[in-house]
Chains A and B, each alone.
Chain A
Amino acid sequence: MVIHPERKAQRALQRMVGAAGVPVEVAADAASAAIDDDTIVIADAAVALSRQPARAWIAVPGEGLAAAEASIVAGLLESGCDHIIAHPMPVLSEELLATVQKLLKRDVFGLEKYLTWSADVRSYTLEDALERDVVVSEIAREVVTMGLPDRVGSLVSVIADELLANAIYAAPVDDRGERPHLGTARDQSRSLAGRDAVTLRWATDARYVALEIRDRWGSIDPAACGKRLAKAQTSAGGMGLPLAYACCNQLVVNRAPGALTEMVALLDVRYKPTELGRAASFHVFVGEAP
Chain B
Amino acid sequence: MRLDVQVAGNRVTMTGRIDDSATFADLPARLPTSEIVIDTGGVTFVNSIGMREWIRLLRGLRETGRRVRLDRVADVLITQMNLIAEFVGERAVTISSFHAQYVCPACGAESAPLVDAVANAPLLQQMKVPAMPCPECGAQMELGDFPERYLTIFKG
Interface residue ranges, A against B (CB under 8 Å):
133, 149-151, 154, 157-158, 161-162, 165, 186-187, 232-237, 239-240, 242-243, 246, 272-274, 278
A234 and B47 in contact (CB under 8 A), knowing A151-B101, A154-B76, A161-B19? no
Q: B156 at interface (Cβ–Cβ under 8 A)? A: no
Which of A161, A236, A242, A274 meets B47, CB within 8 Å? A161
Q: Indicate if the CB atoms of A236 and B55 lie closer than 8 Å.
A: yes
> Contact between A243 and B47 (Cβ–Cβ < 8 Å)?
yes
Complex formed: what's the CA distance from A7 to B55 in Å? 49
Q: How large is the interface on B (under 10, 10 to 19, 20 to 34, 35 or more residues)?
A: 20 to 34
Separation of A51 and B101 alpha carbons in the complex (Å): 39
Residues on the A chain within 8 Å of B83, using CB = 232-234, 239, 242-243, 246
User: What is the minimal beta-carbon distance from B112 to any residue of chain A, in angstroms?
Assistant: 8
Identify the B interface with A (CB < 8 A): 19-21, 44-49, 51-52, 55-56, 75-76, 80, 83-86, 88, 101, 103, 110, 112, 143-146, 148-149
How far is it, in angstroms, between the C-alpha of A232 and the C-alpha of B19 when the chains are bound? Answer: 22
Main SS of the interface on chain A? Answer: helix
Chain A residues, Cβ within 8 Å of B103: 272
Q: Do B45 and A158 touch (CB < 8 A)?
A: yes
Interchain nearest-CB distance for A202 vs B (Å): 17
Would you list the 6 A-B pairs with minimal beta carbon distance, nearest first?
Answer: A186-B20, A240-B48, A233-B85, A273-B145, A149-B110, A239-B48
Contacts of B51 on A, CB cut-off 8 Å?
236, 239, 243
**Inter-chain residue pair count (beta carbon < 8 A):** 77
User: Can you list 17 pairs linking A and B with CB atoms under 8 Å apart?
Assistant: A154-B44, A154-B75, A158-B46, A161-B47, A165-B48, A165-B49, A186-B20, A186-B21, A187-B21, A232-B83, A235-B85, A236-B51, A237-B52, A246-B83, A272-B144, A273-B149, A274-B144
Contact residues in A for B21 (Cβ distance below 8 Å)? 186-187
**Residue among B45, B47, B148, B149 with most chain A CB within 10 A:** B47
Known contacts A186-B20, A236-B55, A236-B86, A273 near B48 by CB under 8 Å: no
- State whether B45 touches A154 (Cβ < 8 A): yes
**New A-B pairs, 5, CB < 8 Å, besides A151-B144, A235-B85, A235-B86:** A150-B110, A150-B112, A161-B47, A239-B83, A274-B146
Q: Are the CB atoms of A236 and B146 closer together than 8 Å?
A: no
User: Which residue from chain A places its CB closest to the CB of B80 in the assembled complex?
Assistant: A243
Measured between C-beta atoms, what is the minimum distance from A181 to chain B in Å? Answer: 14
Complex Cα distance, B131 from A289, in Å, reads 51
Q: Given the complex, which residues of B lie within 8 Å of A233, measured CB to CB? A: 83-85, 88
